[in-house]
Amino acid sequence: MNPNEPNFGQFPAPPQPDQKSAGSTQQTQNPYDFIVNPAAAHKKRAIFKAQGPMRLLAIVGIISAVLLIVGLVAAQFLSGGGSTESLVSIAQQQQEIIRVAENTQRTSQDESTKGFAYTVALSIGSSQQQLQTYITKKGTKLDSKILALKRNADTDKLLDNAKATSTYDTTAQKVLDGLLKDYVDALKEVYQKTNSNELKEILRSNFKAAKTLLIQSENIAS
């Protein structure tokens, strides 16, 4: 650079911004754009409104998911104790076994059959008391009418006919054996479905008692 030049020692003038670029920047950052350009502002509002239904759907979806989870947890909790209907059904089976056993004890002429019938009535009666206490604690009351709903008139006819043909003892033995087997199957089914440790313990105790009776029945039959 020549020191004799007139501009020597002075800073060069800053470059002037391009008019087109400056205008573009001002147009982009203009805070009054909604006044000078109402079409653009309307477009922004339209986009915001379009997001409203989607936001509403998202909220509804979240609420539905929460309710579903709560429902599943509640269902799991309520089903943990086992179905009340299935427990009542088992108590009714127990009542029918007790009824037939007591009738057999009164009618049979064979001491082995009478002794077995007595043991059945006593054992199943104890099991029924355990189960009935649990059912009552869960809010369901059982009376004699409800417990007697599984009374089978065909069983009574079968035993009456056996009495007339002098085959009562063997017939009563077979009837009790069949009732006990059905009872054991019902206990296993409910046991597999429940998550309640308390109920499982009761069903396990009932099951062991019934299996012991079936073993005794086999010994008498043999």
pLDDT surpassing 70 at residue 115: yes
pLDDT in tens, 42-87: 554 544 444 666 666 667 778 877 777 755 544 443 444 558 999 9
Domain match, 95 and 173 both: yes
pLDDT in tens, 146-196: 999 999 999 999 999 999 999 999 999 999 999 999 999 999 999 999 999
Domain match, 96 and 193 both: yes
Q: Is residue 11 part of a domain?
A: no
pLDDT at 11: 43
Q: Is residue 146 part of a domain?
A: yes
Q: What pTM was estimated for this model as a whole?
A: 0.65
Stretch 19-33: mean pLDDT, rounded?
49
Q: Is residue 32 part of a domain?
A: no
Domain that holds residue 215: 82-221
Domain match, 189 and 217 both: yes
Q: How far is CA 132 from the centre of its chain?
A: 22
Q: How many domains does the chain have?
A: 2
Give buried/exposed letters for 79-98 (b at 16+ CB in 10 A, else e): eebbeeeebbebbbbbbbbb
pLDDT at 9: 44
Stretch 25-34: mean pLDDT, rounded?
50
What residues contact residue 131 under an 8 Å CB cut-off, 6+ apart? 87, 90, 91, 94, 202, 203, 206
The Cα 189–Cα 170 span in angstroms is: 29
Domain boundary among 48, 76, 104: 76
Domain boundary among 27, 49, 76: 76
Stretch 132-151: mean pLDDT, rounded?
95
Domain boundary among 21, 53, 76: 76
pLDDT at 156: 97
User: What is the DSSP-derived secondary structure letter of residue 17?
Assistant: P
Reduce the DSSP state of residue 16 to 3 states and report it: coil
pLDDT surpassing 60 at residue 97: yes
Stretch 124-150: mean pLDDT, rounded?
96
What residues contact residue 8 under an 8 Å CB cut-off, 6+ apart? 1, 2
pLDDT at 31: 54
pLDDT surpassing 70 at residue 22: no
Of 89, 104, 120, the C-alpha closest to 155 is: 104
pLDDT at 83: 84
pLDDT in tens, 200-218: 999 999 999 999 999 999 9
The tokens describing 59, both together, are 């909220």
The tokens describing 10, both together, are 């002075």
Domain match, 207 and 97 both: yes
pLDDT at 48: 43
pLDDT surpassing 50 at residue 89: yes
pLDDT at 148: 97
